[in-house]
Structures are given as C-alpha cells and as structure tokens.
Amino acid sequence: MPTLPQGLTAAAFAAAVAKFTAALGAERVVTSDEDVALYRDAYSPLWNEPGELVASAAVVPDSVEHVQAIVRIANEHRVPLYPIATGKNLGYGGSAPNLSGSVIVDMKRMNRILEVDESRGFALVEPGVSYFDIYRHIQERGLKLWIDCPDPGWGSLVGNALDHGVGYTFGPFRDHFGSHCGMEVVLPSGEIMRTGMGALPGAKSWQEYRYGFGPYVDGLFGQGNFGIVTKMGFWLMPEPEAYRSGVVLVPRRRDLVALVDQVNYLEHASLIGQPNYGSPLQRLVANEPELRAMLEKPGGPSDDELDRFAASRSQAVWQCELQFYGPERTIAGNWEYAKERLAAAIPGARFEDRESYRFPLSAQDKEGVPHKVALGIPNMAIFSIGARSDFNPNPRDGHLWFAPVIPKSGEAVLDCQRVLGEVYRELGMGGGAFLQTPATWHFRTFIMLVGFSVSRTDPAVNQRSLANFRRVVEVAAEHGWGEYRSPPVMADEIMSTYSFNDHVLRRFCETLKDAADPNGIIAAGRGGIWPRYLRERQP
C-alpha cells in the first residue's frame, strides 16, 4: 500500500494513476513498492521511521507534452508532485519529496543535449543530462570547452543548479545556478514559459542574455516550487592552454586575515580559480595529545599557544592552494605575482609548486590527476572517502550537511571557529572547529561545512544528528550566518531563520505560490514554502 498524499483517498489516487498511465503509457508510471522504494532518500535521518519522507509513485516523462499532461492530471486530482532531474541529491534529500505521498516526476529520461556552441560558450540541456553525458558529448566532438562539475559526476546540470549546487574551477562557473542562462518551465497551470530572451519568439540569444525584459524570474525556480524545469542553458568555460597550482603556507594563526585578503584580491581579479584553504596542523591532531588538548579546552588555544606549537613542529598554521588556468606564460607570471604579493603581506610565508598540465590531456594523464573536478573532469572518486577501508571499518550510512554562508574574510573564519568551537564542545563534537577552514565554492562568500552522521540501524544516531543540526543552525543564525541549502527535514527551520521583517520573504513567496499554484501541486514544502492548504504544518 503506497503512502498516499494527505487528504487523498485510495480511490482518488488510483483514478489519478490510471490517468497518468493513459497519458504516458504503463512503462512510465512507477507504482510497485519495490520500484517506488528506489526514490527513498538513501541518507534519510528518518530511515524506516514513521516520519520518513516517501513518495507514493513516480512518473517518468519523455517530453514536455508528457510533463504538461502530468501537471494537468495532478491539478484535476489534487495530487502533489515532486520533480527531480537525476535525483542524486544525497545529503540534501536524495530523490525523496518534502511532502510524503507526493508523486515523483522523474525527469531522467528527458536527457537530450539540445545545443552546444563552442565559440559562444554555452549549452542547452534537458534535466536528465548528467555531467558525464555533457562531458562525453564535448570530448567526442573535440570541442575546446570545459564544464564545471560537482564532486559526484552522476548528477545533472539542471538538478544541481536548481539546488544552488557548486563546483571547482573558476568563480563565475562554480556557482551553477549563477552560470545558467535561460530556462523553459512547465508552470503549475500547465503552460510552458521561457525566461529571459526565451520569452521573445525566435530569440537568437536565449542562452547568452539572461534578463530579457521585465522582472528576472529565474530565481523563483531555484530551491523553489513554482514549476517543472524542462530546459536550461549553461555557460561553459573555454578550455585553457595550461593549468598549474601552488601552495602558500603561513606561520601564524592571525596570518589568516592577510592571507584571505590577498587571495581574495587574486581571485576577484580573475588571476586564480578556486582557492583551497587548509591547516597542516590537521595532520598532527591524531598523534599529538598536546594539540588535541589545546583544541578541546574551553575557548580553544590562544593565538600564541597555537603559533608556538606550530613553530615547535616546524609547521605552518594555515595553507592555501592557488590554481591558475590560462596560457602557460601568463599563469607562470601570475604565480610569480601571487608569490610577490603574499610574501610582501605576510612575513614568513613559504611557497611550494604543485601540479602542472597542458591541455588536452591523454586518457592516461587524466587518470593520474588527483582532483579531477578542478579540471572539469566528472568522476565519482569522492565516494571513496566514506567507503569501508582498514582505516574506516564501519563507515557511516550517510550524512546531512550543515553549510552556513559566512563572509569571505579571515576575521569571519576565526570568529566562526570560536563560535562553532563553543557549540561543538556543548554538543560533544570535539575540538575540530579551531582548525576548520572554509569551503570556497562560492565566488563571494565562504561556507563552514559540517557533516552529521546518518544511520540506517541506529535511530539514536539520527536523533542526535538532527538535534545537533538544529542547534548549529540556531547558533549560526544568531551570528548572521544562514544555510545555503538544506535537506527537506530541515527546510522549514532554516527558512524560519530568514526572518527579516516578520518573515516577509517567506510570506511573499507564499503569496506568489497561492497565485501561481492554487492547488499546491508542485513540490510542496520545497525551500520552506508550503501551499495554503498545508501551511499549518510549519513550525
């Protein structure tokens, strides 16, 4: 027996399924328990519990007309839908809906690459196109273009971008929603809308000028529930002639402030791609009780303590890897320039050369690249991190990500370390915060990422993770740091932290939702926005 949408009788649901089947064909309607179970969130913190968010069925359209038919039937029968692209959103809800009983609209069979323009640098794709698909397409045609991909290559350009996903090359391309241009959407009414220049019949620059005329509405469809996206354009990066990377190491804790200032300059001036911060002290934590004690004591180490410890072990406190893309001569010059600036700003800064490549790479060369996504090569290596091994005999079943946005400054990082250090201590999560460095996917902000374990066998682990997650979200919000993305189980709480002027952002979105989707059929609860008939569910 499927989990039915709230307020729908078994007979009414069966009638809707019969209409889906008539419109799409039986092979595109998924109803068996075994098949519907494939849409469970593999990282759900409510696995096998009554509150687990599960689908009632799935429909798998092949065309925009199919999507329109699905929306029409859903309106007639008040069936909530939940669209996914490739459905690989692990850590942020997988392919499960925000509202149990929703019918998944699985777009993976709409996987056509409609256009790739080499000289103008864009692609137009359907939602089922994965990073592997577009990469293969570009390689097979020998196009001098790069994609920017997230760590797991099996996801889709559309799904990843619509959840504000991120990658690893140059700033403007790493923000996948920010580097999209033009959408086609089936609205809750069933009408097809094209955004930006696409609104002009016969437009010649749909994938190049994003604003068209009038309000720019694309943002409503990112982490939103205002339609089902059926096409999306993306800007692509020209293949550079060469790549090189180098590392700068700085000796003192407070050097982080000047380090971030300098690296920001290099990045905002387009001289480097993604900078990667870290602390060489991290490697010592396991075997250095003195360091561990320092990190775990209330308030963490003083600047002096940490600096003295690092000096006594001949270690830098922080490091940052810089990545250069472009003509070989230019990037060699940029690396020299970066060294000059950093050495002048930070006494004692040291530098190490790292990788260097000329493109195109042979298949064998590609195999040897340690972090392939920095070169726009999709892969699945990231999953080896959590895999079973001698060092990790009992891997976790999954995780939830706490990912607050903080300012892109060294002061903000040090402040966030102190605040998180306190809350981690309160929650018994160890002293990791004092060496934690930010994730740098976004061009203009940092993220302080923390994973919370998920277990399929021990509900206590999940309860603890959810409670801890709630606490860090609350503390972060008190300091002006908000989540950029959320698993469905946390969406309402996170939206409620975006509360300026009595939650006017949410109320405005609800007003739009009620007008555009009066029956509340599209992705109820996505982004913390519920249709009128479900509002009482909010905290």
Ligand X SMILES: Cc1cc2nc3c(=O)[nH]c(=O)nc-3n(C[C@H](O)[C@H](O)[C@H](O)COP(=O)(O)OP(=O)(O)OC[C@H]3O[C@@H](n4cnc5c(N)ncnc54)[C@H](O)[C@@H]3O)c2cc1C
Stretch that binds ligand X, among 15-23, 146-154, 255-263, 421-429 (CB under 6 A): 146-154
Tokens read off for 270: 């387009």
Helix ranges, 346-458 (H)? 363-368, 410-426
Rounded CA-CA distance 535/539 in Å is 9
**CB 83, min distance to ligand X, A:** 4
Residue 384 Cα distances to 379, 388, 389, 392, angstroms: 11, 8, 9, 11
Give the x-and-dash track for 216-235 against ligand X (CB under 6 A): ------------xx------
Q: Which of residues 336-375 bind ligand X (CB under 6 A)?
A: none
Taking CB under 6 A as the criterion, the residue among 114, 269, 380, 382 binding ligand X is: 382
277 versus 434: smaller Cβ distance to ligand X: 277
Residue with tokens 């692609």: 123
The residue (of 126 and 255) whose beta carbon lies closer to ligand X is 126
In the complex, the smallest distance separating the C-beta of residue 96 from ligand X, rounded to whole angstroms, is 8
Site track for ligand X across 55-84, x = CB under 6 A: ----------------------------xx
Pick the piece of the chain touching ligand X (CB under 6 A) from 162-170, 191-199, 258-266, 299-307.
Answer: 162-170
Answer whether 438's CB lies under 8 Å from 446's CB.
yes
Instruction: Give the integer Cα–Cα distance in Å for 7 and 12.
Output: 10
- Written as six digits, the tokens of 299 are 């308030």
Nearer to ligand X, 41 or 267 (CB): 41
**Minimum Å distance from CB 202 to ligand X?**
25
Minimum distance of ligand X from residue 10's CB (angstroms) = 26
CB 365, min distance to ligand X, A:
23
Query: With respect to ligand X, which residue has the nearer C-beta, 259 or 491?
Result: 491
Q: Minimum Å distance from CB 66 to ligand X?
A: 13
Please answer whether residues 442 and 174 qualify as being in contact, where contact means their C-beta atoms are separated by less than 8 angstroms. Answer: yes
Q: Which is nearer to ligand X, 54 or 342 (CB)?
A: 54
Site for ligand X in 163-182 (CB under 6 A): 163, 165-166
Measuring CA to CA, which residue among 13, 12, 104 is closest to residue 53?
104
Query: Between 280 and 386, whose beta carbon lies closer to ligand X?
Result: 386
Among 56, 102, 160, 440, the residue binding ligand X under the rule CB under 6 A is: 160
Nearer to ligand X, 20 or 309 (CB): 20
531 counts as binding ligand X under rule CB under 6 A: no
At its nearest, how many Å lie between ligand X and the CB of residue 181? 16
The correct pick among 155, 171, 251, 326 for binding ligand X (CB under 6 A) is 155
User: Which part of the chain contacts ligand X (CB under 6 A), choosing from 21-29, 152-160, 410-418, 462-470?
Assistant: 152-160
Angstrom distance (rounded) from CA 456 to CA 461: 9
**Which residues, numbered 84-143, are part of the site for ligand X (CB under 6 A)?**
84-93, 95, 107, 127
For residue 264, the surrounding DSSP H or E stretch is helix 255-268
Identify the H or E element spanning 358.
Answer: strand 350-358
Is 230 or 319 the residue whose CB approaches ligand X more closely? Answer: 230
Is there binding between residue 162 and ligand X (CB under 6 A)?
Answer: yes
Question: SS3 for 20?
Answer: helix
The end-to-end CA distance of the chain, in Å, is 29
Q: What is the rounded distance in angstroms from the CA atom of residue 124 to the CA atom of residue 206?
A: 9
- Residue tagged 């290099």 (tokens): 266
Among 59, 73, 79, 158, binds ligand X (CB under 6 A): 158
CB of 267 to ligand X, least distance (A): 18
Across 102-177, the runs of DSSP E, i.e. the strands, are 103-106, 113-117, 122-125, 145-146
Q: How far is the CB of 45 from ligand X (least distance, A)?
A: 14
- Of the pair 132, 351, the CB lying nearest ligand X is at 132
Residues in the interface with ligand X (CB under 6 A) total 32
Closest CA to 298 of 436, 414, 423, 413: 423
DSSP alpha helix (H) spans, 380-487:
410-426, 459-478
Task: State the catalytic residue, choosing from 39, 43, 82, 92.
Answer: 92
- Say if strands 57-59 and 445-447 run parallel, antiparallel, or are unpaired: unpaired
The correct pick among 159, 196, 273, 376 for binding ligand X (CB under 6 A) is 159
Is 520 near ligand X (CB under 6 A)?
A: no
Side-chain-side CA neighbours of residue 167 (13 Å): 35
| Phi, psi of 59, rounded to the nearest 5 degrees | -125, 145
485 classed as catalytic: yes
221 in Cβ contact with 230 (< 8 Å):
no
Q: Is the dihedral angle over the CA atoms 4, 6, 11, 14 positive or is it negative?
A: negative
**Cα 35 from chain centre:** 26
Catalytic residue set? 92, 484-485
Residues that bind ligand X (CB under 6 A): 83-93, 95, 107, 127, 150-152, 155-156, 158-160, 162-163, 165-166, 228-229, 382-383, 523, 526
